[in-house]
Structure 1
């Protein structure tokens, strides 16, 4: 159950980062040569969940941990050019992504609330 809460927490963090990234893309819709950014999380989460038994050996504290714990979401540039100015922001796509992300965030907050309700029920029944 605690692992579920940890996964949901990471997904919420990714959703907030995605919202900020989409907002930044929309704010730069008129900026020449602006390359829109995209948050990558779900692909990494899927890989983590299917390969959760693999844990990389770290020989230095400066190494990035591999496996064992959920990786963070990160932002990448999208190599797309939509306008003659070199700007790659597609307002319709960004608004669609923003709406999808809002629904995803609401779903995650509901689910994490249900996880805490299960914990509360388990504690009360003792």
Structure 2
């Protein structure tokens, strides 16, 4: 247990802190009179589940429930798109790829995706450079 904490304490404290910050944001917004809310998929899905099961599943009109579920999925998609976009930007910047090189880079990425689609969903196996041609 000590070795685990020693090696992972930063990640643990970071995740716990982030959870508290996200969870308490609405509360602090209410205290200070600021209309502040967190639009994160985890918080939105949890609030939806609490609301649906708290009110009773059969008391909510189907149309309202569909709008809510669509909203939660939209928040999830936006969270994913922003996270992926920022990670992609950082990765491209770290490799020194400039905007004029994007079409060629996207072409190379597309060829790789067609040849090794699993690598985009699971950690890739180590391959030799000659295997990638």
TM-score, normalized by length of structure 1? Answer: 0.34
Give the structure with the larger strand fraction. Answer: 1
Q: Per residue, is there more helix in 1 or in 2?
A: 2
Structure with greater contact order relative to length (CA < 8 Å, sep ≥ 6): 1
